[in-house]
Amino acid sequence: MNTHTIVLGVIGADCHAVGNKILEAFFTQAGYRVVNLGVMVSQDEFIDAAIETGAAAILVSSLYGHGEIDCAGLRERCIERGLENLVLYVGGNLVVGKADFGATRDKFLSMGYDRVFQPSVDLDGVLELLSQDLAARAGG
Amino acid sequence: MEIVNKKLTDAQFDALRPQVLSSWPTGGDVDFDEGVAFHHDLPEAKRFPVALDQADQARRVLLQPRAGVALLEEHIALLQLLSTAADVLPTTIDAYTRQNRYDEAQKGIDKSRQAGHSLLNGFPAVNHGLRACREIIERVEKPVQVRHGTPDARLLAEITLAAGFTSYEGGGISYNIPYTKKVPLQKSIEDWQYVDRLVGRYEAAGVRINREPFGPLSGTLVPPFMSHAIAIIEGLLALEQGVRSITLGYGQAGNLVQDIAAIHSLRQLARHWFEAEGYSDFQLSTVFHQWMGGFPEDESKAFAVISWGGAVAALAGATKVIVKTPHEASGIPTGEANLQGIMATSQINSMLVDQQASLLPIVQPEIERIRREVNTVLRAVKAAGEGDWATGAVRAFAAGILDVPFAPSIYNKGKLLPVRDNEGAIRLFDFGAVPLDMDTRAFHAAKVKERSTTEGREPCFQMVIDDIYSISKGRLVGRPR
Point out the residue among B120, B333, B408 whose CB comes nearest to the CB of A39.
B408
How far apart CA B16 and CA B305 sit, in angstroms, is 45
> Is the same domain home to B421 and B356?
no
How far apart CA A63 and CA A37 sit, in angstroms, is 16
> Is the same domain home to B68 and B155?
yes
How far apart CA B172 and CA B235 sit, in angstroms, is 11
Q: End of a domain among B333, B360, B387?
A: B360
Q: End of a domain among B319, B338, B360?
A: B360
For B180, nearest residue in chain A (alpha carbons): A15
How far apart CA B216 and CA B398 sit, in angstroms, is 21
Whether residue A15 and residue B179 make contact (CB cut-off 8 A), yes or no, is yes
Q: End of a domain among B322, B338, B360?
A: B360
| B195 has a pLDDT exceeding 60 | yes
- How far, CA to CA in Å, does B116 sit from each of B45, B94, B108, B120, B378? 33, 17, 12, 12, 50
| B256 has a pLDDT exceeding 70 | yes
Q: Is residue B287 part of a domain?
A: yes
- How far, CA to CA in Å, does B254 sit from each of A34, B347, B426? 33, 20, 9
Q: Is residue B310 part of a domain?
A: yes
pLDDT tens digits, one per residue of A111-121: 999 999 999 89
Point out the residue among B98, B119, B465 whose CB comes nearest to the CB of A68.
B119
pLDDT tens digits, one per residue of B39-62: 999 999 999 999 999 999 999 999
Our CA-based measurement puts residue B444 at a distance from the nearest CA of chain A, in whole angstroms, of: 23
**B111 to chain A: which residues are within 8 Å by CB?**
69
Residues A53-79: b if buried by 16+ CB within 10 A, e if exposed = eebbbbbbbbbbbbbbbbbeebbeebe
Please enumerate residues of A whose Cβ is less than 8 A from a Cβ of B. 12-15, 17-18, 21-22, 25, 38-40, 63-66, 68-69, 93, 95-99, 119-120
The H helix count followed by the E strand count for chain A is 6, 5
List of domains in chain A: 1-18+25-58+73-92+113-119 (3.40.50.280)
What is the DSSP track for B163-183? HT--EEE--TTTTTTTT-SS-
> Is the same domain home to B170 and B314?
yes
Whether residue A17 and residue B331 make contact (CB cut-off 8 A), yes or no, is no
Give the model's pLDDT for residue A140: 53
For B97, nearest residue in chain A (alpha carbons): A13
How far apart CA A58 and CA A47 sit, in angstroms, is 8
> Is the same domain home to B81 and B228?
yes
> Is the same domain home to B42 and B116?
yes
| Torsion region of B206: left, alpha or beta (phi above 0 gives left; psi -120 to 50 gives alpha) | left
Instruction: Quote the number of domains for chain B.
Output: 2
> Is the same domain home to B355 and B421?
no
Q: Is residue B229 part of a domain?
A: yes
Residue among B291, B330, B340 with most chain A CBs within 10 A, to mutate: B330
Our CA-based measurement puts residue B281 at a distance from the nearest CA of chain A, in whole angstroms, of: 36
Give the model's pLDDT for residue B1: 79
How far apart CA A105 and CA B389 sit, in angstroms, is 49
Across A30-37, average pLDDT: 97
What is the DSSP track for B314-382? HHHT-SEEE---TTGGGSSPPHHHHHHHHHHHHHHHHHHGGG-GGGHHHHHHHHHHHHHHHHHHHHHHH
Q: Is residue B422 part of a domain?
A: yes
> Is the same domain home to B52 and B159?
yes
Across B255-264, average pLDDT: 98
Our CA-based measurement puts residue A28 at a distance from the nearest CA of chain B, in whole angstroms, of: 13
How far apart CA A79 and CA A47 sit, in angstroms, is 10
**B463 to chain A: which residues are within 8 Å by CB?**
none
The rounded percent of chain B whose pLDDT value lies above 70 is 100
Q: Is residue B396 part of a domain?
A: no
Beta-bridge partners for B427: B419
Point out the residue among A63, A66, A120 whose CB comes nearest to the CB of B120.
A66
> Is the same domain home to B177 and B47?
yes
Instruction: Name the phi and psi angles at A87, rounded to 5.
Output: -85, 130
Q: Is residue B264 part of a domain?
A: yes
CATH number of the domain bearing residue B35: 3.20.20.240
Give the model's pLDDT for residue A2: 61
Q: Is residue B407 part of a domain?
A: no
> Is the same domain home to B51 and B152?
yes
Catalytic residue set of B: 98, 169
> Is the same domain home to B199 and B116?
yes
More confident call, B359 vs B37: B37
Our CA-based measurement puts residue B405 at a distance from the nearest CA of chain A, in whole angstroms, of: 9
Whether residue A17 and residue B297 make contact (CB cut-off 8 A), yes or no, is no
CATH number of the domain bearing residue B444: 3.90.970.10
Nearest alpha-carbon partner for B304 in B271, B268, B272, B345: B345
> Is the same domain home to B53 and B186?
yes
> Is the same domain home to B426 and B313?
no
Our CA-based measurement puts residue B310 at a distance from the nearest CA of chain A, in whole angstroms, of: 23
The sign of the torsion formed by the CA atoms of A63, A67, A73, A76 equals positive
CB atoms within 10 A of CB A85: 12
Q: Is residue B386 part of a domain?
A: no
| B38 has a pLDDT exceeding 70 | yes
Residue among A64, A100, A118, A122 with most chain B CBs within 10 A, to mutate: A64
pLDDT tens digits, one per residue of B119-168: 999 999 999 999 999 999 999 999 999 999 999 999 999 999 999 999 99
Eight-state DSSP code of residue B95: H
Give the model's pLDDT for residue B481: 78
More confident call, A54 vs B481: A54
| A1 has a pLDDT exceeding 70 | no
Q: Which strand ranges, in their side-by-side order, compose the sheet holding A115-117? A: A33-36, A5-10, A57-62, A87-92, A115-117
Residue B426 structural domain: 415-481
For B117, nearest residue in chain A (alpha carbons): A96
